[in-house]
Amino acid sequence: MKIISATCTISAVGPKQYPNTGYPEIVLAGRSNVGKSSLLNSLCSRRQLARTSAEPGKTQTINFFDINEQIYLVDLPGYGYAGASKVKRREWGEFIVNYLRDRDKLALILHLIDLRHEPMKNDMEASEWLTRLNIPYVIVGTKADKISRGRRAAHIAAIRKGLKLPSDVPALVYSSETGEGRDELWRHVNSVLAGQHNTDK
């Protein structure tokens, strides 16, 4: 996709703040510090569109990024940040669950998993829950530049096995550092959007 415009338009803390433009929403979900903001910047070819931090747990709102006045990329707070209080983790969990369960604009969920490691327990729990939403779903293995090309297939296979992914769920690799995987991921996004458009006709 050629990016003409990309803007963070809304940082929401509740449904009343969600946009009402009707654009389809592509959701980025994953553990804290898995690289959601970096991937979003890379997808949009912008260095500072989404603020990145070496400290996990910084994203505490649902951030809507308007892309070409056509779609939203939606950056969710990361799960699994041990430094947050139990109360805060519960609030974030309810906040995210309610958005994912009730929002009718969701077109695709990108579930980011660090390609270097096998899925953790909360990755497995998140994957199990996300796949039950019946929304198109894809695994994106981040930080691919940290793994040699010859080992990536084995790492993706370990992620698929750990998450017990059905064979029809795509699992892609991505490097925000090099941009590898960007075109493939955009092609997947566009194919999902095109399919939903044809269904709506």
Average confidence (pLDDT) over 15-28: 95
Among residues 123, 140, 152, 144, the alpha carbon closest in space to that of 185 is found at: 140
Among residues 54, 11, 49, 10, the alpha carbon closest in space to that of 32 is found at: 54
* pLDDT at 97 (0 to 100): 85
Helix (H) or strand (E) holding 127: helix 121-131
Average confidence (pLDDT) over 13-28: 94
For 112-164, how does the pLDDT look when each residue is reduced to its tens digit (9 = 90+)?
999 999 999 989 999 999 999 999 999 999 999 999 999 999 999 999 999 99
- Supply the pTM of this predicted model: 0.89
Average confidence (pLDDT) over 15-36: 93
Model confidence band, residue 39 (pLDDT cutoffs 50, 70, 90): very high
Q: Select the more confidently predicted residue: 13 or 91.
A: 13
* pLDDT at 54 (0 to 100): 45
For 45-102, how does the pLDDT look when each residue is reduced to its tens digit (9 = 90+)?
987 787 654 444 445 789 999 999 999 999 998 886 545 556 555 656 788 888 999 9
- SS3 for 29-62 is EEECCCCHHHHHHHHCCCCCCCCCCCCCCCCCCE
Q: Select the more confidently predicted residue: 162 or 199.
A: 162
Asked if the 6-194 domain carries CATH number 3.40.50.300, the reply is yes
* pLDDT at 85 (0 to 100): 54
* pLDDT at 63 (0 to 100): 93
